[in-house]
Structure 1
Amino acid sequence: MSVDMGFSRSGAEGQATSLLAGRTAVVTGAGNGLGAAIAARLAEEGVRVVLTGRDRAKLCAVAEGIDARVETVDVASPGSVAALRDALADEEISILVNNAGVPGPVAPLWEIDPADWDDVFAVNVRGVYLVCRAFLPAMLARGNGDVVNMASVTGKRPLPRRTPYAASKTALHGLTATLAHEVGTLGVRVNTLSPGPVAGPRMERNFALEAARTGTTAHDAEREFVSRAALGRMVTEDEVAEATVAILRMRGLTGADVDLSGGMVAR
């Protein structure tokens, strides 16, 4: 089911010199958090934004702020993604931001239920595959396009009690590097953006779970975690959105992973 909220052209007119102005982007998981921030930043560049996700009410709330188009989708469902592609047949989608993701359980591997493991991979990996599979053919036919897959530093560095999430993000690095070589000579660029911990509700949840497990406080859990970063803090949603735009502006960048973690190291 779709809702057309219309597109404002004032933003595009105000960004006449932007390399991205006039292009159309699909942003998955755009109902809140990083997806909403990325969509808003793209709109500032004059990009026509299609907000996608499972919760239409949340998507419409985001659309009110940036005057975008809304399409509901479950990225883990082949039928739902195919329906999204068909609904957007009238749009020239040249940017995919695969942001939809779930954090999964916080527990030792041997305590994780297989269904919970599968749920993480269904969204974080299968979802990226399905969205790329649906929209890449049209990009390849036109000889131009960009894909930004939202990975994580957790896909490159240990994070105890988060094995399904870490494994899913590691998988995205392999998917991105290989896909970049499959489509690069055909004009499509594919990159990953790997944020470190992003300040917001998801990290607050993780700190609360860690505090409950260790018998400390959420504040202590957060302080210990951010001490691993050179900047001594988490990154922000706006910084991730700005990095997404920067990736899209770099026409010679493909098969790359951009680390935006504030210098996060594993320990």
Structure 2
Amino acid sequence: MNPQPRTALVTGAGRGIGRGLSLGLAAAGWELALVGRTLDHLDAVAAEIRAAHPDRTVLVLPADVTDAAQVARVVADAEQGLPGGIGLVVNNAGVIERQEVDLVADDVEDVWRVIETNVRGPLLVTHAVLPAMLARGVGHLVNINSGSGHRPSPVYTGYGISKGALARLTTMVHAQVADRGVKVLDLAPGVVVTDMTQAMPLHDGRADWTPVQASVDLVDAFGSGRLDALSGRFVRAGTDTEESLREHAALIAERDARTLRLAPWGEDDPVA
């Protein structure tokens, strides 16, 4: 197994949480490939990183992550342009419904837009990066998830469906490649101040926002291999820390906790 390059590809890197993660990872010493739909936003983030860290490699790779050809192109460019290839992927790009309503009142095409973006994007990126990671025998993937993936909600149906599906993608990828050196994690960033969250009526009047640095710390810890015992599982920035997760890792594994599954009624449940 080769050492993992300290390089990261971040999707949705031009704004919001993706921007904060990119700036934070650069400060933590990662070389970066910034992926997003809007070139101007990516260029602005790259300029911030270069101003603070002149020697840091920063690739600007505009793409729509729901387009397979575009994803294949930017992953190939990142593998070529980052020293040692892609060590860490942060699947951050995502959207939410335009209306805060239940399914009955929602536009089903908008619901599907959310599901397609939030699931197809990480699926395509993961599929594209795995061959090189597996060839090196090492790599880390972080899927930016949400408590909405496992908790019911009266609104944002597509978002909840998409995050539940993303959690299942995490468990599937873990089952298939973790023993070959590639680890994967679901990370909920909490409620970070972004254009998206501030536009949601659900958060009107909120004062307790989660700092994006809490997510940076967990992504850096996982990407550096210090939380490999939690591969395939779910963590939340702002409540979990590297220290608390390392302290409870054995208990989490023993109880098979922090993963999406059907809870049986007991040992004699026929679906257990």
SS at match of 1:38: helix
Are positions 1:86 and 2:63 aligned together? no
- Partner SS state of residue 154, structure 1: helix
* 1:184 maps to 2:178: yes
**Residue of structure 2 in register with 1:25 after alignment:** 8
Aligned residue in 2 for 1:103: 96
Q: Does 1:195 align with 2:200?
A: no
Shift of 1:262: 4.5
CA contact (8 A) 1:234 1:261 kept: no
In structure 2, what is the Cα distance between the partners aligned to 1:176 and 1:40? Answer: 25
| Contact kept? 1:196, 1:261, Cα under 8 Å | yes
Structural mapping, 1:216-235, within 5 Å? 218-219=204-205, 222=206, 233-235=208-210
Give yes or no for the alignment of 1:258 onto 2:242: no
Does the 8 Å contact 1:125/1:168 carry over to 2? yes
Give the SS at the match of 1:79: helix
Q: Structure 2 matches for 1:1-267, cutoff 5 A?
A: 23-67=6-50, 68-90=58-80, 91=82, 92-105=85-98, 106-207=100-201, 210=202, 218-219=204-205, 222=206, 233-249=208-224, 250=226, 251-260=228-237, 262=239
Q: Normalised by the size of structure 1, how large is the TM-score?
A: 0.79
Deviation, structure 1 residue 198? 1.7
- Opposite residue 75 of structure 1, the aligned amino acid is V
Write the letter of the residue equivalent to 2:223. Answer: L
What is the root-mean-square deviation of aligned Cα atoms in Å? Answer: 2.0
Contact conserved, 2:140 with 2:222, CA < 8 A, in 1? no
> How far did 1:254 drift?
0.8
Residue 234 of structure 1: how far off its partner (Å)? 2.5
CA contact (8 A) 1:194 1:261 kept: no
Cα displacement (A) at 1:241: 1.8
Compute the displacement of 1:159 (Å). Answer: 2.7
Code of the aligned partner of 1:183:
V
Q: 1:99/1:189 Cα in 2 relative to 1: closer, same or farther (>3 Å)?
A: same
AA aligned to 1:41 is G
For structure 2, list consecutive stretches of 5 or more residues without a partner in the other structure.
51-57, 241-272
Query: Do the aligned partners of residues 246 and 88 (structure 1) sit closer, same or farther apart at CA in structure 2, a change above 3 Å counting?
Result: closer
| Contact persistence 1:148–1:244 (CA under 8 A) | yes
8 Å contact 1:34–1:241 — kept in the other structure? no
Q: CA deviation at 1:139?
A: 0.3
Deviation of 1:248 (Å):
2.1
Q: How far 1:60 sits from its partner (Å)?
A: 0.4
Q: Which amino acid aligns with 1:156?
A: H
Deviation at 1:148, TM superposition (A): 0.3
Question: Which deviates more from structure 2 when the two are superposed, residues 107-116 or residues 240-249?
Answer: 240-249
- Equivalent residue number for residue 6 of structure 1: none
Q: Normalization by structure 2: what TM-score? A: 0.77
Question: SS at the partner of 1:46?
Answer: coil
**Closer, same or farther: CA 124–195 of 1 in aligned 2, 3 Å:** same
Conserved 8 A contact 2:114-2:158: yes
Corresponding letter in the other structure for 1:98: N
SS in 1 for 2:87: strand
User: Secondary structure at the residue paired with 1:93?
Assistant: coil
